[in-house]
Chains A and B, each alone.
Chain A
Amino acid sequence: MLMNVQDVKRALPTNTVPLVPAMSGPAAATTTDIVAAEIFDGFRAWRVWSVLGWDDIRQRYRRSILGPFWITLSMGVFILVLGVIYSRLFHIDPSTYMPYLSVGYVVWGFISSVANDSCVAFHEGSRIIKQIKLPFTTYVFRVVCRNFIVFLHTIVIFVPVAIYFKIMPTWNTFLAIPGLFLVVVNVTWVAATLAIFSTRYRDVQPIVGTIVQLMMFATPIMWSVSSLGNETLIAEINPIYHLIEIVRGPMLGAAPELRSWLVACGLATVGSLLAAALLVSKARRIVFWL
């Protein structure tokens, strides 16, 4: 007995036919559906991305005695040596320069490693992407989560520095928490955008690598804005400067300028919306780019 599709359809009991709920297809998938599936469900999948993020770190440092604290140690040594030399080079008192460098460099480490890692976010998840439908933000959040764990391991460098140079916590110090939150929001939308572009265009990753390298020197991390004299515009037009400043300022006991907060908030809002729009418009294509 041969049965073609039409026969099968006719043979089906009528109560199984309603096609109403959640049709997905070019005609039926609404923007709201995609936002829910790709973005909100991504937050809800926190267990998946936190488990993956932790496993990434554990894999990197398994069987080593210090584990993730190797990053702490190497960054600590870097800051110590650079701090000692550059404070003399720039004629800045080490008690000012060392805390400034340590916070700035650790925050920069977080921003730069997210930017670099996000270029491979979908590639490293491609085996999962091709088998299980998870929100694409899962893989972006995994990158941010992993690097945030590294950040928490490295920010402890500031503790001995602060004790040694007698930097006392003030009320301003707590402003570092909203500051850090804004940094996380901003790196997340950047990561989502870079992940999408670098999956489609393989040249994006080396471009990002070059820019990241360049920005380390172009941003006031190892040097201070005041050393620019009248040319502070070079720092002010750099959004990374403001992102670092809203964490670094409070940690060093000063409230960051309103301008820096505004830049960080504005970027977070506009960037997140743009990144969400990009993800929604490309969500149906990404799997075919892998």
Chain B
Amino acid sequence: MVAIILDDVSIDIPIYDVSSASLRKMLLVRAVGGRFAQSGSHVTVKALKNVTFEAHDGDRIALVGDNGSGKSTLLRVASKVYPPTSGRVMITGEIAPMFDATLGMSMDATGLENIQIAGTIWGMTRAQIRNSVDDIAEFTELGDYLKVPVRTYSNGMLLRLAFAIATARDPEILLIDEIIGVGDATFIGKAFSRLHKLAERSRILMVAAHQDDRLRLLCDKAIWLSHGSLVQYGDIETVLAARAGERPISQSAGDAA
């Protein structure tokens, strides 16, 4: 059974290099959504506050909220990277976090070597890596370029390769932070359809992004976060509508596209 269950979860992130300079703290509170608190000798950001929700088999959840509202933090809790400061977390299922597609790319290594290195970091077995090489080669259309060091690639080529490796698995829980927004239009289209297929194969999907139209295509539910708190969890249209309704009042300048 695949599930993500958060029960009253809070995450406090300590900031060690913020001095007691109160002015700087004040400015930060205004700039970032989270709340700051003094805990012992260092400042902490309350990145998530008492978040409770459950996701089960078949759930496709969009995470919406302003910058700094806790979307990425929530994804890092779901990927077990952040242990909760308080509350309980239960995650069952194989997790595939995709926050930074270029993770594990080694610039001086060839494309094929990078498939080995990054694939291993992503948790693929040797057989899975071997079997995915053809698929990656086909998707990236890199051909013989796979045999030369990736530092010779253009940004677009590098991104294509990184994205193809990161999406070469069959995960049970797929966590995505910010859908690819770089590259030419053809690639974005192609990448999105690959992502769509991957999302369909996964059992639970959580995506954080600012493009509502893209989210509508991938998800049927949404979590709305604001200043680290869960505002609303439910049907995507309902949540997006509620958020759109509240936006002009609480937020002067929108950052969502």
* Chain B residues, Cβ within 8 Å of A63: 108
* Residue with the greatest number of chain A CB neighbours at <10 A, chosen from B52, B95, B100, B108: B108
Question: In the docked arrangement, what's the CA distance between A63 and B151, Å?
Answer: 13
Q: Across the two chains, which residue of chain A brings its CB closest to B14?
A: A288
A205 to chain B, nearest CB (A): 15
B109 x A23 contact (CB < 8 A): no
Known contacts: A51-B120, A59-B108, A128-B121. The answer to whether A133 contacts B81 by CB under 8 A is yes
B80 x A133 contact (CB < 8 A): yes
**Chain A CB within 8 A of B117 CB:** yes
**Chain B CB within 8 A of A89 CB:** no
Surface stretch bound by A, among B152-160, B209-217, B230-238? B230-238
B90 x A127 contact (CB < 8 A): no
Question: In the docked arrangement, what's the CA distance between A129 and B97, Å?
Answer: 11
B16 x A131 contact (CB < 8 A): no
**Chain B CB within 8 A of A16 CB:** yes
Number of A-B residue pairs at CB separation under 8 A: 123
B120 x A47 contact (CB < 8 A): yes
Question: In the docked arrangement, what's the CA distance between A4 and B106, Å?
Answer: 45
**Chain B CB within 8 A of A21 CB:** yes
**Chain A CB within 8 A of B92 CB:** yes
Q: How many chain-A residues does the 8 Å CB contact rule pick out?
A: 41
Contact among B53, B89, B100 with A8 in the assembled complex (CB-CB below 8 Å): B53
Question: In the docked arrangement, what's the CA distance between A63 and B120, Å?
Answer: 24
A16 x B90 contact (CB < 8 A): no
B56 x A4 contact (CB < 8 A): no
B232 x A4 contact (CB < 8 A): yes
**Chain A CB within 8 A of B200 CB:** no
**Chain B CB within 8 A of A58 CB:** yes
**Chain B CB within 8 A of A55 CB:** yes
A127 x B103 contact (CB < 8 A): yes
Partner-A contacts on B (CB < 8 A): 1, 3, 5, 7, 9, 13-14, 16, 52-54, 56-57, 76, 79-92, 95, 97, 99-100, 103-104, 106, 108-109, 113, 116-117, 120-123, 126, 149, 230, 232-235, 238, 242
> Closest 9 A-B residue pairs measured CB to CB?
A3-B234, A25-B88, A133-B80, A284-B83, A62-B108, A51-B120, A16-B56, A131-B99, A23-B90
